[in-house]
Chains A and B, each alone.
Chain A
Amino acid sequence: MLDLELHHVSKRFGDHQAVCDLSLRIERGEFVCLLGPSGCGKTTTLRLIAGFEEVDSGSLLLDGEDIARVPAYRRGIGVVFQNYALFPHKTVAENVGFGLKMRRRPRGEIDAAVRQALNLVRLGQLGDRLPKQLSGGQQQRVALARALAFQPRLLLMDEPLSNLDAQLREEMREEIKRVQREVGTTTVFVTHDQGEALAMADRVAVMSKGRLLQYDSPSAVYETPIDPTVGRFIGKVNTLAGSIQSMEGNLARLQTEEGPVITVEAPGGVPGGRLTVMLRFERMGLSTSRPATDNLIEARIESRTYLGETIEYACRADRLLLRATVANNGGDQSFAVGDRVFVGWGRSDAIAFKG
């Protein structure tokens, strides 16, 4: 259980800059998610930490010790791979005990550790099976047990849940969190699924095109994204842009390009300045009467998408199209296509960015 620091780490493949000047610090025992779209560099970062790739520049410090030149097999970092990478010719017990076998621990110690690790992931009785005899979820747990059995300094997980179906994925999310809390190992978890990241992480590192965009708690990343890229990546947003007509303290009156004038919190804004405003779908309120909200737009329902848990509406007011997500609470409050509605939201429901 150690802390991990990356200082200005860069890595390029040919003429593609995979990771660019990345600096990050992960505290002891933290569960951090590297989140981003495909190609953002999150997996490369993980492989650099694991030692499967070499950094071009920058340093990797594990509890203060520079591990950049330490070969992968001596770093003592546990890795759970996307396709589990269980040794097909070894039993579950042999797989899990492999790390300790490499460290030449006595037979008895290995057996005890294997038993403990398998019990940790609740697979205690499957030690003698071969990987091909297990289900996907079980193989996943074995991979986790194997990575933890030798008590690594750090645990890395490379999109381990992406090969599982939705139901299993949620179960395993809980399992992994539970195990990590029990063992307390510092963990770095790579995923492109923002729901996963928000649900599991203590802190989320949002990456794009090889750079770190924002590194904060899930709620901070969600509620106060640092720039539109992050805002758009996490959750669904409506985007409006326009120039400030006037300021009243921290409140800006914004003349949007799409037509309506809206009020939004924009500290430090000046009249004439440009703002990009993001409105989360679920923060939009729809009603047939005029609620007393800061912002109110009269619109007509253009389309309605039934999503089971929620219903998504597209509301058109001239050139402006606003999407709203409403909880599905029985159907008596749902709207139909063509209905006139009022779309409202408060001044703090929007996120404003300069430019």
Chain B
Amino acid sequence: MSTSTSDQAALGTADHASARARFSVRHIPLILLAPSIVLLFVFLVLPLAIIVLTSLQPNVLLTFDAPGIGNYGYMLSKSYYLAVIVRTVRIAFVTTLIGLPISFLAAILIYRLDERFRNIALMGLTFPVLTGPLAIVLGYMALLTDGGPLFGPMIELGLIPPLKLLGTETAVIISLIQFVLPFAVLTLYTAVSRIPQQLYEAVTSLGGARMSCFLHVTLPLSLPGLLSASIICFSLAASSYVSPYYLGGAAQQTLTTLISQFILATYNSQLAAAAAVLLLVVMLVTIVAITAFFRKFIR
């Protein structure tokens, strides 16, 4: 055994050394996370703060002491802009209301598929996301017109009256449902796939049939997933640009098309910023409301 003095020396240097080593190792994860966090901070958080500041500035249409909420007062006092806000929320809401159950059923059915086909099914659903909304909306512009190949023959045969879907909210909602489906299905599939098979077997052994399995196992345990999916559906629908622009047209403006109009047509950065903040606020409030609604059911 070494003598006590060399023991002390060894202990001394070891403590000091380990203290130094502790510094570097503990900070490595922070260094690794830094690039992402810095990127987000500089190019997202900071610019958003700038937007908020800009929205408080006077512009060509209004003069008030900066910083002030004159822009917001202006927008919220005009019935046109209020209608735009309401429309944005309504479209997003309806998209979520219809898209969520459709996606939930699809997710459950895909999970029931044979294992070999599950991933292909999911990938196939993801493919439209990669094509981008522009290509898809172009397709809808053709598909949904009365002169198009879908409705054209049907109208000529007298099966349906001319629908004039282009330029209506309905067309926008249809395309938005198509847009959010992959995201919702993927989220819900993740939730459904995490439910242990044994819970269904327990229900069956206790005498429950298919509907009981759904009501007592699938639905309650999917609630967190349903919450995420509804937030995603709403957010994607509320923030979409291409669909409302092309399929809604000038008559059916949403907050996103309004923002682009303020910038590209009237060059009004301040009102554009105000509209952007209003959109973010609307989305935040809705997300909080949806979360509160679901929390009542999630145990």
Contacts and interface: CB of A to CB of B under 8 A. Distances in A.
On whether A and B touch (CB less than 8 Å), the answer reads: yes
Interface class of chain A by DSSP? strand
A68 B16 CA distance: 10
A54 B10 contact: no
B78 interface: no
A60 B13 CA distance: 11
Interface residues of B, number: 14
Contacts, number: 36
Contacts of B2: 64
B10 A56 contact: no
B156 interface: no
B109 interface: no
B7 to A, nearest CB: 7
A170 interface: no
A7 B15 contact: no
A61 B10 contact: yes
A7 B20 contact: no
A69 B15 contact: no
Contacts of B14: 55, 58-60, 66, 68-69
Nearest to B16: A69
Interface in A285-312: none
B21 A66 contact: no
A71 B11 CA distance: 18
Nearest to B24: A71
A69 B22 CA distance: 9
B30 interface: no
B18 A7 contact: no
B17 interface: yes
A55 B7 contact: no
B25 interface: yes
A57 interface: yes
A268 to B, nearest CB: 27
A8 interface: yes
B17 A54 contact: no
B29 to A, nearest CB: 14
Interface in A160-193: none
A57 B21 contact: no
Which of the listed residues B1, B18, B21 has the most CB atoms from chain A within 10 Å of its own CB?
Answer: B18
Query: What 6 A-B pairs are tightest by C-beta distance, nearest first?
Result: A69-B17, A59-B14, A68-B14, A69-B21, A59-B10, A68-B18
Interface of A: 7-8, 25, 54-61, 64, 66, 68-69, 71
21 contacts: A7-B7, A7-B10, A8-B11, A25-B1, A54-B22, A54-B25, A57-B18, A58-B14, A59-B14, A60-B14, A61-B10, A64-B2, A66-B10, A66-B14, A68-B14, A68-B17, A68-B18, A68-B21, A69-B17, A69-B20, A69-B21
